[in-house]
Amino acid sequence: MTKRSCFTPSQMRLLESNPNVVHVSEKSISYTPEFKLHAVQSYESGSAPMQIFLDAGFDVVVIGTNNPHK
């Protein structure tokens, strides 16, 4: 497991502006229950994890290109 470096204050604000996010701390993101359900359903339907997050409006540079992954 790789360690995640901390989110900067500006990255935290950017993440918190996404409607799929409930809360962001320096080291983690809490997602809405609706997004979690949608993500699981999309994955089970064949969508790649990265595509699910891109479609949901996340900046993959901020969350990391190794996240999300299977």
Give me the DSSP letters along 3-65.
PPPPPPHHHHHHHHTSTTEEEE-SS-EEE-HHHHHHHHHHHHTT--HHHHHHHTT--HHHH-T
Q: Is the pTM of this model over 0.85?
A: no
Within a domain: residue 70?
A: no
For residues 23 and 67, the model is more confident at: 23
Confidence bin at 2 (pLDDT 50/70/90): very low
Whole-number Å distance between alpha carbons of 9 and 25:
9
**Residue-number span of the structural domain to which 31 is assigned:** 9-61
Q: Which stretch of 33-42, 45-54, 59-68 has the lowest confidence by average pLDDT?
A: 59-68
Within a domain: residue 27?
A: yes
Within a domain: residue 28?
A: yes
Whole-number Å distance between alpha carbons of 49 and 37:
13
Q: How many C-beta neighbours within 10 Å does residue 59 have?
A: 12
Amino acid at residue number 55: D
